[in-house]
A and B are shown apart, each in its own frame.
Chain A
Amino acid sequence: AQKVTQAQTEISVVEKEDVTLDCVYETRDTTYYLFWYKQPPSGELVFLIRRNSFDEQNEISGRYSWNFQKSTSSFNFTITASQVVDSAVYFCALSEADQGAQKLVFGQGTRLTINP
């Protein structure tokens, strides 16, 4: 069965610090997709990234970067030079490849607080 573990329930850092959110997943499939979503205090879920299991290249988007390591089944998310606006709950999610359907399994989320 699929499972996503975000072991860090809460993280609190001071603005401008770098912070890494951990995500470990379990799946029996060789083809799958990994996602990160941000849920700010307003409540909506904001899509950040989708990565397929065959693409292990790290990705950088501005201050955000993602490190995908199949050997350790991890898909970690780093925010560089954090800002107060980054405060949110961040969810990692996994979807097994199925041409007919897509079910995302979410981790429990990491609440990130950036203090000024």
Chain B
Amino acid sequence: DSGVTQTPKHLITATGQRVTLRCSPRSGDLSVYWYQQSLDQGLQFLIQYYNGEERAKGNILERFSAQQFPDLHSELNLSSLELGDSALYFCASSVAVTGELFFGEGSRLTVL
């Protein structure tokens, strides 16, 4: 158990819908990261927050947004969902801006 908690574990929805994925980092970790794992793209970095501030952005679509709240949990919002958004979404956390990343178990999103 990495200490990073993600909910929900599984989510099935329809095209055009909006979903929110939630992440609670390890106790004491200030940095939160979101990654997407799909069969065709592999593991892709989406975005990083540190203590509430956005620090780095990867190939995150404009339809996706994220934030980190004062209690350090983070949410990834995915809107206008398309079939291609079906993937495993991982959250990770680290103590500092850099360092070892510990991943949650992921949220598996299926868009039908």
Contact = CB atoms under 8 A, between A and B. Distances in A.
Contact of A43 (B33, B44, B92, B106): B106
Contact of B45 (A43, A46, A50, A103): A103
Contacts of A45: 90, 92, 103, 106
Q: From DSSP, what is the main secondary structure of chain B's interface residues?
A: strand
Contact of B105 (A43, A93, A100, A106): A43
Contact of A104 (B2, B97, B101, B105): B101
A82 interface: no
Contacts of B48: 101-103
Contacts of A98: 56, 98
Report whether over half of chain A's contact residues are helix, strand or loop; otherwise say mixed: loop
Interface residues of B, number: 28
A105 B45 contact: yes
Interface string B77-110: 0000000000010101010011111111110100
Interface of B: 2, 31, 33, 35, 42-45, 48, 50, 55-56, 58, 88, 90, 92, 94, 97-106, 108
Closest CB pairs A-B (n = 9): A101-B56, A45-B103, A106-B43, A101-B55, A102-B98, A44-B105, A103-B45, A50-B100, A108-B42
Interface of A: 33, 35, 37, 42-47, 50, 91, 93, 95, 97-109
